[in-house]
Amino acid sequence: MPILTQIISGGQTGADRAALDTAIKFNIPHGGWITRGRRTEEGPLSDKYRLKEMVSRDYPSRTRQNILDSHGTIIISRGPLTGGSKLTHTAAMVAGRPVCHIDLMTQDIFEAALILHSFVLENHLGVLNVAGPRASHDPAIYFDVKSVMESMLYLVYLDKEAENDSEMDWPAVSEQGDARDADQAVEWITNDLSLKTRTLVGRMDDARVGDVYFSMLDYIKVRTGLDRENSRLFTCLGKGRDRLEYTPEDGAMDIVKALKSYLALHHNLRILP
């Protein structure tokens, strides 16, 4: 079974939403079940999240359905499980489905990512269900779950790199800039890339956007000014975004996706042997 073909959750604020946003950021299919009316504590869930509505407004029913529709469930919280998170753990045990609880009171972000990475690999998880506290119960849980998920995906990326030599020659930082917008950032990066790398990126599947992101993250941040949260580029990219959730790393992914779209249009050439 392929590793992580889909990430699902119940769509609530906090941990659930962080999992869905991570999936969207990395072009990983996402989904899950949500209660009737797409109910969350801050109002109906946006249609950008591709969750299916239950016929019931009952949270436990939604919780059990997501467990049954996944290959395993991860619960990320701070301290002992309570409320809906405790129900999720119990329901997974009753259903006989793999479940793992990560307590951020005893593990830091990278240790948590290692645990999640091992859980996914050992159980050959294709569809991962993510659960944890809502934002009103733990205002910092969104950032922590997002960090754990992204760190876990980085470990998956390293696994792939260990199996295959990289096809592309990524540039070193030649100079630091402060791009005014995404178009200028893409122009600078394109000029730094070799023709072969431009063509390979242009032709690659969208599902591999994470490979480009992890390979180029530090370079992009320094080259375009995203290493500074007060840069022109970060300010431009962050317009209309929730600045409590949007990070320079999210900005770097937006640049990677813009780069991929540009190269797919202008450098999607056949590579001769």
Torsion of CA 11, 14, 18, 19, to 10 degrees: -50
CA 13 → CA 9, 34, 116, 178, distances in Å? 10, 12, 21, 34
User: Any idea where the domains of the chain sit in the sequence?
Assistant: 6-162, 182-266
Q: Quick one: which of 11, 71, 77, 21 has its CA closest to 44?
A: 11
Query: 193, 201 in Cβ contact below 8 A?
Result: yes
Query: 130, 7 in Cβ contact below 8 A?
Result: yes
Query: 69, 33 in Cβ contact below 8 A?
Result: yes
Both tokens assigned to 203: 């032709």
Outline where DSSP puts E strands in 91-137: 99-103, 127-131
How confident is the model at residue 272, as a pLDDT?
45
Distance of CA 209 to the CA centre of its chain: 11
Query: What SS3 class is residue 53?
Result: strand
Residue that the structure tokens 């591999």 belong to: 208
Query: 158, 215 in Cβ contact below 8 A?
Result: no
How confident is the model at residue 165, as a pLDDT?
55
Give CA–CA dist 267/32, Å, rounded: 37
- The CATH T-level fold of domain 6-162 is Rossmann fold (3.40.50)
pTM recorded for the entire structure: 0.92
Both tokens assigned to 6: 């889909």
How confident is the model at residue 109, as a pLDDT?
97
Q: Which residues of the chain have pLDDT under 70?
A: 1-2, 164-166, 268-273
